[in-house]
Amino acid sequence: MEAAFSAIAGLFSGGGAAAATTAATAAGAGAGAAATGLGSLATLKTGMTLLSGISALGQIGAGRAEAQVLRAQADEANLQAGQERLDAQQRQNRIRREMASILGETKNKYAAAGVDLTGGIAQSQAERTARDAADQITIDRRDSEFVQAQYRARARNLRRGAGQAQTKGLLAALETGGNTAFNIARLGA
């Protein structure tokens, strides 16, 4: 800078040739400095672009990984719903077996006592036992259907969350790319 000022001052003071030489030297130095600055600016822009790309890929990967975890949890919830259905069926079968056992024991007791099994107290107790068992089975079935519905709803929500996680990763990558492009544009201005 000082060389440029002295060259301009030399032109006005009458030292034209010396001033021209000084101006040419200053211009060459300035051009070299500008070329070095442009080279480092290009390197900076390239570095920012590479880092932005790596960051964007990481964000996409993180979104996909989160989505995979959520899908695995959804699959597990579906399996739990299926297991609950099997468990409910086993409980209901156990209730039926217990009812049959109670009815059989009751009939044997009344028969041994000589009580008529086709009417009266023996028949009303058998009907009450069957009704109680049917009520227990109905309650268990409804409870099981509710639990299964909860598992299926959880699975749906997890799958929805998986899609959102993947979208979130893509949007974050786009945001990173956009911010980098904006910052590079500002550097060039």
Span 97-107, average pLDDT: 88
- pLDDT-derived band at 138, boundaries 50, 70, 90: very high
- Tally of domains in the chain: 1
Instruction: Give pLDDT tens digits for 141-162.
Output: 999 999 999 999 999 999 999 9
Instruction: Give pLDDT tens digits for 27-55.
Output: 444 444 444 445 677 787 788 888 888 88
Span 11-21, average pLDDT: 42
Span 60-80, average pLDDT: 95
pLDDT of residue 5: 37
Residues of the chain with pLDDT > 90, as a percent, come to 44
CA dihedral defined by 152, 157, 161, 164, rounded to 10 degrees? 120
pTM to 2 decimal places: 0.61
Instruction: Give pLDDT tens digits for 162-177.
Output: 999 999 999 999 999 8
- pLDDT surpassing 50 at residue 123: yes
Q: Which range, of 3-12, 56-65, 116-125, averages the lowest pLDDT? A: 3-12
pLDDT of residue 28: 41
Contacts 24+ apart (CB under 8 A), 64-68: 64/166, 64/169, 66/162, 66/165, 66/166, 66/168, 66/169, 67/162, 67/163, 67/165, 67/166, 67/169, 68/162
Domain range for 110 is 2-188
